[in-house]
Amino acid sequence: MTILEERPQFAFEAHEASLMEIVPGPRPHGIVKFVTSTDHKQIGLNYLFTGLAGFLVAGLMALVMRTQLIVPNNHFVTENVYNEMFTIHGTLMLFVFAGPFAFAGFGNYLVPLMIGAPDMAFPRFNNLSYWLYLGGFSLLLAGFLTNNGAAQFGWFGYAPLTEAIHSPGPGADLWIVGIGLTGFSGIFTAVNIITTVFTLRAPGMVMFRMPIFVWNILVTMFLILLAFPVLTAAMALLWIDRHLGGNFYNANKGGQPILWQNLFWFFGHPEVYIIALPYFGVATEILATMSRKPVFGYKGMIAATLSIGALAMGVWAHHMYTTGAVLLPFFAAMSLLIAVPTGIKFFNWIGTMWRGTIVLNTAMLFCLGFLAMFLFGGITGVILAQPVLDFQLHNTYFVVAHFHYVLIGAVMAGFGGLYYWLPKMTGRKLSEKWGKLGFALLFIGFNLTFFPQHDLGLRGMPRRIETYNAGMGWNFLNELSSIGAYITAIGVLVNAWNIFTSWRHGEIAGDNPWDGQTLEWACSSPPPDHNFEALPPIRSERPVWDANHPDMLTKVGH
């Protein structure tokens, strides 16, 4: 039998009216947003700008020191103030600026965007990390308000100088707790980012399609998990020594000052790579985009990062050659080995630019500045890694020059990152004119400050002295160095001014101002809450490029 009756019609139209549009309530803004937000982008910005504040404060301290050293027998500040300055300058630069600026600032903002995630795995935990970090920063500064002043024993706080009898007063305690808080903040961020990378990648975003920046952050996070707890433990033991009658580091009572050095540098050397690896990632992204090419040797780059991470854990005692308490050949060999994966990275960076269509804008200039300065710092590092040479150069200005080249190399990449990603974060580009001027001033200023210090070191000027006699042959080089510091300061101000004014008045950036390749360029600038409405197909490590240039698809399986 055939049913001839017509099928009943369901009129969907009739129901449509009952579907209500859900209107979200008012979103917090201004200070309330800053305090309460669990959005990875807001937290990333908080880190970036708090980090920059740390850079400015620590930079002012550098100016105080360089002003004191500009002429011999100067009395601009007292010895005690000079000691406070180098201690808190170094501590802020490393624990508040250089590290967190990249791994927590850029890391928070970019990792979820780059892997196609809506947020971090633990957004509230992320908020807590930031507040611990801000608390640590505040405590480090609070030392100046106490009657004995801030800590004076240098950023690596060697025992037994840190014991209560040599460094009485709360300044040293605030230093211990301040570093402890930034350490916890780092550990929490590491847990969060590792979980995010392993569990929240978008469909198609397999590990070997993640941007190099994400890979570098991931390796950095594992280094943090290995290194920071050791530092926290070392600080806890120091606290016990100072307040609870412990004798861990006090030789007079049977303790071992060398124990502190081992614990500290077991953290301290990996810290160099915790600082550097994220900036390597930043530079890699910018070099690829501005050369309009994929990263050369993508997997080789990842392998190099992994082996740098592994080797970084085994070289801590190259900071302790002159103690006579370490096996020199082992630590020298391990230290020299790190030059191999670092060389691979340089090779690949050059390979990425090779035959590319290079866009020489401010972000790219900062990247080239990074390559030049980091390479130079690396070469003096190879020099210092030879025990015979280190015995001569240890504790001289040669070392000050070496580590500033390395660190300021990294900072150059950081500034490049700002010029590259602030348009994504704010929706506006920075001025290229001011940017190039800012770059030139920084590059000239940094080199003028630190290049002469190599020679000062060779002429025997020790680090951490607040003054010197006129007849040492150090006058002219110190003068140059201080003038360089003033030029650097002007460069920092020019860049700060550029960020400040471009934020309001800069050219509108659009979603993808640089023809970028990775996923963060697929969403609007700034990205909406929870980031993506839709994702392009992810078939290589540069999905946005593939979507925009179907005629030039990335070859996969390289």
Q: Which residues bind ligand HEM (CB under 6 A)?
A: 59, 62, 65-66, 86-87, 89-90, 93-94, 97-98, 154-155, 400, 404, 407-408, 411, 449, 463-464, 485, 488
Shortest reach from residue 368's CB to ligand HEM, in Å: 18
Q: What does 93 interact with, of ligand HEM, Cu ion, none (CB < 5 to 8 A by kind)?
A: ligand HEM
Q: What does 463 interact with, of Cu ion, ligand HEM, none (CB < 5 to 8 A by kind)?
A: ligand HEM
Q: Taking CB under 5 A as the criterion, which residues in 97-156 touch Cu ion?
A: none
Q: Could you tell me how many helices (H) and strands (E) the chain has, helices first?
A: 19, 0
Residue for token digits 């991470």?
309
Contact between 445 and 371 under an 8 Å Cβ cutoff? The reply is no
Distance (Å, whole) CA 264 – CA 269: 9
Q: What does 89 interact with, of Cu ion, ligand HEM, none (CB < 5 to 8 A by kind)?
A: ligand HEM
Shortest reach from residue 491's CB to ligand HEM, in Å: 9
Contact between 246 and 163 under an 8 Å Cβ cutoff? The reply is no
Judged by beta carbon, residue 450 or residue 545, the one nearer ligand HEM is 450
Shortest reach from residue 446's CB to ligand HEM, in Å: 7
Q: Is 269 in the site for Cu ion (CB under 5 A)?
A: yes
Identify residue 169 by its one-letter amino acid code.
G
Q: What does 269 interact with, of Cu ion, ligand HEM, none (CB < 5 to 8 A by kind)?
A: Cu ion
Shortest reach from residue 308's CB to Cu ion, in Å: 12
Contact between 212 and 349 under an 8 Å Cβ cutoff? The reply is no
Contact between 16 and 78 under an 8 Å Cβ cutoff? The reply is no
- According to DSSP, residue 201 is labeled P
Q: Per residue in 68-91, is it b (16+ CB within 10 Å) or e — as a string?
A: bbbeeeeebbeeebbbbbbbbbbb
Judged by beta carbon, residue 55 or residue 184, the one nearer ligand HEM is 55
Judged by beta carbon, residue 238 or residue 411, the one nearer ligand HEM is 411
Shortest reach from residue 39's CB to ligand HEM, in Å: 28
82 CB contacts (<8 Å, ≥6 apart)? 65, 68, 466
Residue-by-residue DSSP string for 531-546? S-S------SS-HHHH
Q: What does 411 interact with, of ligand HEM, Cu ion, none (CB < 5 to 8 A by kind)?
A: ligand HEM
Distance, C-alpha 232 to centroid of its chain: 20
Contact between 405 and 276 under an 8 Å Cβ cutoff? The reply is no
Q: Is 402 in the site for Cu ion (CB under 5 A)?
A: no
Q: What does 59 interact with, of ligand HEM, Cu ion, none (CB < 5 to 8 A by kind)?
A: ligand HEM
Judged by beta carbon, residue 248 or residue 405, the one nearer ligand HEM is 405
Judged by beta carbon, residue 268 or residue 536, the one nearer ligand HEM is 268
Select from 121-129, 205-213, 264-272, 510-518 the region that touches Cu ion (CB under 5 A): 264-272
Shortest reach from residue 265's CB to Cu ion, in Å: 7
Judged by beta carbon, residue 483 or residue 547, the one nearer ligand HEM is 483
Judged by beta carbon, residue 267 or residue 532, the one nearer Cu ion is 267
Q: How far is CA 67 from CA 73, 105, 473, 474, in A?
A: 12, 31, 18, 15
Judged by beta carbon, residue 154 or residue 169, the one nearer ligand HEM is 154
Residue showing the smallest CB distance to Cu ion in the complex = 269
Q: Is 108 exposed, middle or buried (0-12, 13-18, 19+ CB in 10 A)?
A: buried
Select from 263-271, 358-366, 384-392, 409-417 the region that touches Cu ion (CB under 5 A): 263-271
Contact between 273 and 312 under an 8 Å Cβ cutoff? The reply is yes
Q: What does 453 interact with, of ligand HEM, Cu ion, none (CB < 5 to 8 A by kind)?
A: none
196 CB contacts (<8 Å, ≥6 apart)? 111, 112, 115, 117, 120, 121
Give residues in contact with Cu ion (CB under 5 A): 269
